[in-house]
A and B are shown apart, each in its own frame.
Chain A
Amino acid sequence: MAHASELIESDINAYLKSHEHKSLLRFITCGSVDDGKSTLIGRLLYESKMIFEDQLSALEADSKKVGTRGGELDFALLVDGLAAEREQGITIDVAYRFFSTDKRKFIVADTPGHEQYTRNMVTGASTADLAVILIDARRGVLTQTRRHSYIVSLLGIRRIVLAINKMDLVEYGQPRFAEIERDYRAFAALIGLTDITAIPLSAVYGDNIIERGANMPWYVGPTLMGHLEAVPVEDQSQTLPFRMPVQWVNRPNLDFRGFAGRIASGRVQAGDRLKVVPSGRESRVARIVTADGDLPYAIAGQCVTITLTDEVDVSRGDVLVDMQALPQTADQFEATLIGLGETAIFPGRSYLMKLATKVVTATVNPLKYRVDVNTLERLAAERLELNDIGVVELELDQPIAFEEYAKSRELGGFILIDRITNNTVAAGMLHFALRRSQNVHWQFLDVNKASRAQLNRQRPCVVWLTGYSGAGKSTIANLIEKRLFSLGRRTYLLDGDNVRHGLNRDLGFTEQDRVENIRRVAEVARLMVDAGLIVLVSFISPFRAERRAARALLGEGEFFEVFVDTSLAAAEARDVKGLYKKARAGALKNFTGIDSPYEPPEAPEIHIDTARLSAVEGADLIIETLARQGVLRVD
């Protein structure tokens, strides 16, 4: 470790100070087997003087014994640390190596090239800022190059160094270099990788690693080390809104209750208004506690313990967030999965899903497609095997707060765990919440339609009575409500005339207004169903399209259309309110049946023929149907 030795010798404190403020770059090396990854890292360590003399003498001995370079130093032996790796001369698992230069510190993950060890490559890639993708100049872009590039892009690594290695074996020729770069860029563009720096190298001889060397005068770009030292490392987590997944509740005594976690993004200071998601409770930051004293503020990446001004319910897995910029919550997502387990992922099977500090149950349903990494073709698949990449929909047993993975690795990356073997069987990246899960509101999610229904011991629904004015809709609706009320059910009756006195006072009887009249009533009915009620709607509602629209607002089995079927003649003969007479006289415009059409239902759930059934019998028929459909009982 003899770099910067002058400063170390002359002023150790100044050296330590400068070292403390060096930036850190985490990168991976990947590519196909035998592209020279381990050799390259060994060379980087060697050239940056990170190898001690005792390690070097061990390397010399190893190189003679098992090296592949005829007794010369075999740098790969510095990195391949497992006995099995040294025996077989391959990399099985990711190795983490540390080195620093005068400008920067580095953690490099050397990842295996063999396809069967792809999951170890994924492990290394998940924490990297940059990927060095090695290519053997003789062989060009291979399947494994494409596979690794695709995984790198999925894991959100944007910066690529295309290290075209073994240039010494192609006479250091520029045309070959240009050809490979062109091939690679064409593929990379398809997977959204555009920030690519191509460098011609010889890891064995050291060309363009740290020194340029004399063999490739045609190359004018940076050396590998020069590029790694200069490439910007941005931390976008600092600019995003505040998020802190609660990791552990710290309760040493009755007077202290703090929420420990690492800030995933943004910043927080004492006094900030926060929301707890998914529960939706609000409070303020009282203190930001650390062992070194309270902090006035804290930023992304720091581990702190936050206390709140109110006694709110917060547990591990909840996320503390900025009131002004709330994350989404949902329980159904689209996501990309990478298969990591010996057993395949099957749709319909339930797994444990860990995202940030939250563990929930997730079911893959459906498996939309698998991606062929060579062609990027979408293929139909019944399961995801080890190392397969696919896009799925996930159903969770409860809503969680999340971010799109592209925005936040912390709140968008997850693993799936097999419930029986306890193995990690997939890595996942969330894309977005599915539309059908958006009706899960993030305010007080623990109380929802289902729980209210449970409390009311009924299944909320709409009973929609349609028919001519004077057919007896209101009479029947009134009878049903009295019956349900006496059974202890929670109901509400929306009556056409009553609603027109309030909510729909501004509407007349033109076709357009009638459409709006029904739209509003349908929306109100939907809210009431969400509130857990059995809603009776008694409206002429003459148009099929509007009744269909109302039905579409509600779930399967929540809408009962009741056709109160009376002939126009019978209704007009009764004319309880004297409206037909007025309409016939021309005093009422657009009256249904007179100068506006009525479109009878084609397939109502219940049909009441008033010529054969009395109002009481009609009400009985409806109650019977509801009971049979399970509306009055919740198991």
Chain B
Amino acid sequence: MRADGGGQVAAAAAAQSTMTTTLTHLQRLEAESIYILREVVAECERPVMLYSIGKDSSVMLHLAKKAFHPAKPPFPLLHVDTTWKFRAMYEFRDRMARELGIELLVHVNPEGLAQGINPFTHGSQVHTDVMKTQGLKQALDKYGFDVAFGGARRDEEKSRAKERIFSFRSAQHRWDPKNQRPELWSLYNTRKHKGESIRVFPISNWTELDVWQYIHLENIPIVPLYFSARRPVVNRDGALIMVDDERMPLRPGERPEMRSVRFRTLGCYPLTGAVESEATALPQIIQEMLLTKSSERQGRVIDHDAAASMEKKKQEGYF
């Protein structure tokens, strides 16, 4: 779980003597992502990197360190907090920011907070809209960021598969999927009018397997929740929900039980289903992922809400 001594990808290339004339698939992906990160910094005024603490964010942070070395990444991190993340995620977030010395901005939608919006009484749709989508738009406007990096991948979901790497947003943060800018070669058009912004997805072309393999090869630190441990869970509507703190109201007959579980994706704990697993190391996690018969987003309640729900959320300004 430590970050130092990494650089396996590049080190492997160097070690392959002077005969090397090709790059591995991961080296290509890494180079593409670094190119995108640099392109934004070179052409845009006020970029920010959205940091959601998950494995994709960890990869993004690692890539940002590499892209600008020996300088520090010339942009802050922004965490749009719903206040419902796992405790282990908050600990991890604060440790990473401290160790890397990068400015971390945390934004919570103050109105949502005042209204006590939560996933239990308001449901996942309202909770996500108010705390994530509206919160994100507030934060981008408050700090005047013109570009926000996100860790979305095209293999995650059908509407993501359609999205450009540089995804243009109107001054109202809206995405128009029917009128996307042409994006040829690696020539990104970053021009925009005042108030408009761009969401940039440097790891668009990575798959879930690529992400895990890269984390493995580069020794990238990730939140311990990805590894199996005995954790208190309840079985609710077919999902294993972890009872992470005392805010979670138990339904009649529900009793937390200790089971060996881990998480394939991380979000708000009441909305994130665990999988039963004994995998405590990365190769085992990758093994399980390759042998599984369900996709990684299955554990997310958000995608099941409505058909084409992601596209709709994205149009409204969600990532």
Interface residues of A, Cβ cutoff 8 Å to B: 1-2, 5, 8-9, 12-13, 15-16, 19-24, 52-55, 62, 78-84, 86, 92-98, 105, 107, 119-120, 122-123, 126-127, 235, 238, 247-248, 250-252, 256, 258, 260, 262, 289-293, 295-297, 299, 301-303, 305, 316, 340, 352, 354-355, 357, 409-410, 413-415, 417, 422-424, 427
Task: Flag if A96 contacts B161 (CB, 8 Å).
Answer: yes
A84 close to B178 (CB less than 8 A): yes
Q: A8-B290, A12-B283 in contact; A95/B10 too (CB < 8 A)?
A: no
Q: Which 5 A-B pairs have the closest CB atoms?
A: A292-B7, A81-B158, A252-B71, A291-B69, A422-B191
Does residue B34 face the partner (Cβ distance < 8 Å to A)?
yes
| B26 lies within 8 A of A20 (CB) | yes
Q: How large is the interface on B (under 10, 10 to 19, 20 to 34, 35 or more residues)?
A: 35 or more
Interface string of B184-203 (1 = CB under 8 A from A): 11110101110000000000
Given contacts A20-B213, A296-B14, contact A54 B298 (CB under 8 A): yes
Contact between chains at A126 and B192 (CB < 8 Å):
no
Residue from B162, B207, B307 within 8 A of A98 (CB atoms): B207
- List of B residues within 8 angstroms of A424 by Cβ: 181-184, 189
Task: Contact check, A238 vs B21: say whether CB atoms are below 8 A apart.
Answer: yes
* Bound complex: CA A288 to CA B155 (Å): 34
> What are 13 A-B pairs at a CB distance below 8 A?
A8-B287, A15-B290, A53-B294, A54-B298, A79-B158, A82-B162, A93-B177, A107-B205, A123-B184, A127-B185, A260-B38, A293-B10, A424-B182
Alpha-carbon gap, A352 to B158, bound state (A): 33
Q: Is the Cβ of B184 less than 8 Å from the Cβ of A427?
A: yes
| B24 interface hit (Cβ, 8 Å) | yes
Smallest CB–CB gap between A172 and chain B, Å? 33
Q: Once bound together, how far apart are the Cα atoms of A609 and B68, in whole Å?
A: 73
Q: Give min CB distance, B146 to chain A, whole Å.
A: 13
Assembly CA distance A13 to B24 (angstroms): 16
Known contacts A252-B72, A297-B18; decide if A417 and B42 are in contact (CB<8 Å).
no
Which chain B residues border A120 with CB–CB below 8 Å?
180, 182
Q: Which residue of B lies closest to A294 (CB)?
A: B14
What separation, in Å, do the CA atoms of A98 and B208 have in the docked complex? 10
Interface string of B283-302 (1 = CB under 8 A from A): 11011011111110010000
Q: A2, A12, A55, A82: which contacts B286 (Cβ < 8 A)?
A: A12
Inter-chain contact B7/A291, CB cutoff 8 Å:
yes
Could you tell me the dominant secondary structure of chain A's interface residues?
mixed
Q: Which of A12, A84, A98 contacts B177 (CB 8 A)?
A: A84
Q: Mark B38-50, 1 if CB is under 8 A from A, else 0.
A: 1101100000000
Q: Which residues of A contact B71 (CB under 8 A)?
A: 250-252
Q: A54-B295, A126-B184 known; 13 other A-B pairs, CB under 8 Å?
A: A52-B292, A62-B307, A82-B308, A83-B312, A238-B21, A252-B71, A260-B68, A301-B28, A303-B35, A305-B69, A410-B186, A417-B189, A427-B182
In the complex, what residues of B have CB within 8 A of residue A355's CB? 187
Residues of chain A lying within 8 A (CB to CB) of residue B38: 247-248, 260, 303
List which B18-73 residues lie within 8 A (CB) of chain A.
18, 20-28, 30-31, 34-35, 38-39, 41-42, 65-72
Q: Total contacts A to B, CB within 8 angstroms?
A: 217
Q: In the complex, what's the smallest C-beta–C-beta distance from B72 to chain A, in angstroms?
A: 7
Chain B minimum-CB-distance residue to A269: B18
CB-CB < 8 A to A81: which residues of B?
157-162, 311
Q: How far is the CB of A94 from chain B (nearest CB, A)?
A: 7
Name the residue of chain B whose CB is nearest to the CB of A56.
B293
Contact at B20–A299, with CB atoms within 8 Å? yes
**A303 touching B31 in the complex, CB below 8 Å, given contacts A16-B216, A119-B182, A247-B39:** yes
Which residues of B come within 8 Å of A, CB atoms? 6-7, 9-11, 13-14, 18, 20-28, 30-31, 34-35, 38-39, 41-42, 65-72, 154-155, 157-162, 164, 177-178, 180-187, 189, 191-193, 204-205, 207, 209, 213, 216-217, 283-284, 286-287, 289-295, 298, 307-308, 311-312
Determine whether the beta carbon of B25 is less than 8 Å from that of A16: no
Name the residue among B187, B205, B307 with the largest chain A CB count within 10 angstroms: B187
CB neighbours (8 Å) of A97 from chain B are: 154-155, 161
CB of B27 within 8 A of CB of A302, answer yes
Q: Which residues of A contact B180 (CB under 8 A)?
A: 93, 120
Q: Give the CA-CA distance A92 to B154 in the complex, in Å.
A: 17
Q: Looking at the complex, which one of B13, B30, B155, B178 makes contact with A92 (CB distance below 8 Å)?
A: B178
Give the chain B neighbours of A92 by CB distance below 8 A.
177-178
Contact B295 A16 (CB under 8 A): no
B20 contacts across to A, CB distance below 8 A: 299
Closest Cβ neighbor of B164 among chain A residues: A123
Nearest chain-A residue to B24 (Cβ)?
A20
The CA-CA distance from A427 to B186 in the complex, in Å, is 12
Are B287 and A415 in contact, with the CB atoms below 8 A? no
With the chains together, A357 CA to B14 CA distance in Å?
27
Q: CA separation between A55 and B31, bound complex, in Å? A: 31
A255 to chain B: closest residue by CB: B70
In the complex, what residues of A have CB within 8 A of residue B187's CB? Answer: 354-355, 413-415
Nearest CB on A from B214, distance (A): 10
Could you say which of A2, A52, A127, A256 contacts B70, with CB atoms under 8 Å apart?
A: A256
Q: Given A93-B162, A295-B14, check contact A302 B184 (CB 8 Å).
A: no
Q: Given known contacts A248-B41, A424-B189, is B11 in contact with A292 (CB within 8 Å)?
A: yes
Beyond A16-B286, A93-B180, A98-B154, whether A417 also contacts B291 by CB under 8 A is no
- In the complex, the chain A residue whose C-beta lies closest to that of B204 is A96
Chain A: minimal CB distance from B298 (Å): 5
Provide the bound-state CA to CA distance between A250 and B34, in Å: 14
Cβ contact within 8 Å between A52 and B295: yes
Query: Contacts of A289 on B, CB cut-off 8 Å?
Result: 69-70
Q: Which residue of A lies closest to B284 (CB)?
A: A12
Least Cβ distance of B99 to chain A in Å?
15
Alpha-carbon distance A415/B189, docked complex (angstroms): 8
Nearest opposing residue in chain A for B68, CB measure: A250
Cα A84 to Cα B67 in complex, Å, equals 37
Alpha-carbon distance between A297 and B38 when the two chains are bound, in angstroms: 21
B-side contacts of A260, CB under 8 Å = 38, 67-68
Q: Whose C-beta in chain B lies nearest to the C-beta of A87?
A: B308
A-side contacts of B294, CB under 8 Å: 52-54
